[in-house]
Every structure is written in C-alpha cells, then in structure tokens.
Chains A and B, each alone.
Chain A
Amino acid sequence: MKKSIPSIILTVILFAIWQVIAMRMNASYILPSPIEIVKKIWELRDVLFTVHLPATMGVTSLGLVISIVLGLFLAIIMDLNEKIESALYPVIIASQTIPTTAIAPLFVLWFGYGIWSKVLVTILITFFPITITVYDGFKSTKREMEELLTTYGATKKDIFIKLKLPSALPYFFSAIKMAVPLSIIGAAIAEWLGAQSGLGYFSKRMMTQLDGAGVFAPVVVLSVVAMVLVGIIGIIENALIKWRKEI
C-alpha cells in the first residue's frame, strides 16, 4: 500500500488539474470535467453496464482466449524447431506493421457486423506480445540446467515440460498483463469502426451527439475494467510464482 501512495497522489493532482482546466474552459463537449464524466457514468449506468460492457467483454474475452492459445502455440513451435522459428518470426513481426485501424473496416467487409470481425481485430493486436514474450521465456532457460537434465538422459519433451514451461511461467503472466489491456483496446477499436453494440460503439455514438462526457464515460469504464483485471492477474501471479526472483 505504501508503494502506491506516490502514484495515488500524482493521479489526484492530475485529476484536480483536469477539473480546473475543464471548469475554466467551460465547454464540456470538448473537454468534460472528471466530475461530469462520473455523473454521466451514473446516469448511463444501465445501458453502459448491462448492454455495452457485456458486448465488449464478450469480444475481449473471446479475442484474448484465442490470442493466448495462438500465442502459446506459435511460441512453442518456434522454440521446438529452428526452421519454423526462422520462417515464422519475421512474419509475426510483419503482422504488427499492419495499421490495425486501417484494416479493421476490411474485416467488417469480410465478416460483417457480427462478433468475428471484432474478435479478429482483437487477436491481431493481442497475440503478438503473448507470442514474443512467452517465446523469450522459453529461450531464457539456463543452458546449465538444460545440460544437467540432458546428463540425466532427458528427452526434448522432458526438458520442455520440466524446465522450459515452468521457467516461462513468469513471462506468460507478464504477457497476459500486457495482453489484457491490449485486447480491450482492440475490441474498442473494432467496435468504433463497425458495430451495433459495445463500449467503443457507444463512445462513437456519443461523439456524433457532441456529448463529451458521454464519449469519456465508456473509455473510463474500459480503463477501470482493464486495471481491475490486471490487478487480479497480478494477485494470481504472486500466489503461483513465489520463486520469480530466484531465477
């Protein structure tokens, strides 16, 4: 708790400055004050939390699960086979040079306004950090430990299960902590570009109505959800990996 005091103080100061500037500007369609945003969230709580948040979370969780499976699969096959690694690695890097916001409408064109176009955008943004971080985790295992297992007669599979998987676990959690906010951003972007529900879609609709606080309200909800999820993952990580510092 003591550790978070400086960040809490800084956040309060930033919100206070924001509040003062917004009150001075007195143009909530351009810059609504934090208090106006909180009020707006309260006013719109029904539609935000029962309609749009579940829609966004549906896209996010589906995209995240597929990204984790895909990311782990790519990391594992790249670690197991050097040829696959040299073939895949550049392609994976190249996939990140695609401007997602530009390609997202194309997905809508291909897959329609249903959930899959948005899930695809989410995957495109999210699988990358999982693949690369977990792959780095596999590569981070100590050579001496690998050799020790080899002297016991370990096969590649033994080394992978007994050494590489546990060694990569801290990296996996780091990847998930990066991936959760990214998957939420991905889902929101996708909804912004073409959807019938979701917090991204709602934010866009509020913009067309020049409702500044209404634009911010779903964004704040998304940020809070992301922070809570990352916090929960952090707690699970600390409970599971008490040995992290000893690697």
Chain B
Amino acid sequence: MKNGFWVFLAAFVALGASWLGLVYGPLKQLGVATETKVLQSDAKWPQARTGDATLGLQVYRSAGCAACHTEQIRQTGAANVLTITETGSHQPADLKGFINSLSSSVPELMNYSNAVAANLAGWNGELPKVLYRGAADTVVALLGDKLKAVGVKTEARVVATGADIARPGWGARQSVAADYLYDAPVQLGSLRAGPDLSNIGVRSPDLNWQLQHLYAPRSLVKNSTMPAFRFLFSVRKKADGPDAADALVLPKEFAPATGQEVVPTTEARQLAAYLVSLKAGVPLYEAPFTPITAAK
C-alpha cells in the first residue's frame, strides 16, 4: 500500500459498519422505547422513580457502587410447572396410580410418563406437590384437564429457571431492556463482588435496614465484605430529650460513643430510597412468569 487513503478507508468502513450495527441499530431499536405493558394486567412498566430515589441513582453513580454490584439477572430458560393443590376425595396412593396409568396410556403424555412417575415416587400426600416441570405447554394443559375431570385441583405456572433466579430474593425473571428505561446513567455493573441489586427493593424493602447496612454492613450481614459507607452519615452530639427520629438504632459494638448518635445525610437517605426502588417483579412479554400472588 502506498497511500494512506486506503488505510483511512479501511478503518472508516470497519468502524462505520460496527457503528451502524452496534450503535445506530440499538439506538433505533432501544433508544425510542417507551413503557411496556405488564402481562395479564393493565399496569405499565417501568414505573418512574420518585424524587429521593431519582437522586439516589446519582449517589449510586458517584460512589461507584456498580464497581461491585450488578443490576442484571440472567435466566437460562423458562419452564411450565404443574402443581397439585387439592387432591379432592382421593387418597395419595390411588391418585399416584391413576396419574401413572394416565400418563402411560394417553399418547401425548407418554414421553413424559417417566418424569411424572419420578416426581411422584416418594409422595405421601403433602401439598402443594409439583407434578411436572418442563417446557411443553400442551402437556401441562392436558394433564391439568384430565385431573380436573376427576376432581383434583391443579395449578399451572410459568417459572424462569437459572442460578440467579434460584437464589432467594434475587428476582423472578431475567432483566430485560425495558427495566432500565428511566435510568440515567444505566448502572449495569460487571462484577459481583457483592450481590445483584436488581431486586433489592423486594428483598430488603425496609429503609432503616438499608441505612444501617450502609453504615455498618457487618452489623446485619455477618460475613459481608462490603466497605462501610460512613462518610454518608454524620455522627453528632445527642441533644437532650428523646433521640432524634432519624438516628440509627445500632447494636452495641457498632454504636458511636455514648452521648453521640449517627444520623444519615441527605445522600444516604436518597441512596437508600433508590435501593428500595429497585424491583424487577412483574412479568413482561419478553420475560414471562406467573406471579405467586396471582395464583390463588
């Protein structure tokens, strides 16, 4: 090559193509997104944050919380789960025999008879009992109908699967693009030195818990590796009379010297409000699941 122009052209076309694909394309698709509809409901998602929580995102950004915390839940797939909720007048052993004979005689169910039999193997009648866990909608519907005909009540639910979902309180479904509509800046994070926070508002909805956890993480979570964020609090001399309403109630080994009290600053309160606002609990078109509250 004799001419720098060809290098210029190669770089321009290469970077331009990737710009079209990975910047322009997503901006056209995601940059114009609006609120979406929650499944089986008239509600919209996501809900905009209120004042303190909106400002709390800026405290989160400023302190660099995303260096250790992600705000994204992954899932490996989704499964239909059929659960027996009421056995009606049947004895467990009879019902077991009936279901096994049903699943080995009805052609559509034959492929699943082993799984169903395995699920029922040690069953002594405790409820609710997961009868079948898998991906095919038709199997669940058919099995449910057959059982309904003999007076057994069942419940069919869609659940997300994966290690993140299986962790208690981490959320019922994967994070999707719609969840971040009102975030600026979007704080996805890339390291889980600390737990994921996309559902912390459901996991620990108490503002005072959040504040105490920020001031002294190990007073609430014994093995926590999180640094204390004491600079978000002010330690001041206690006034005469009753304690200040917003003073933290701390266990003895974390409490300040006698005659002093720990009071959250505005930033701490905003950050706690933001954390409590982090919820990812509604089913969406791209991440369906059956909420537990909906199943009565």
- A and B from one complex: no
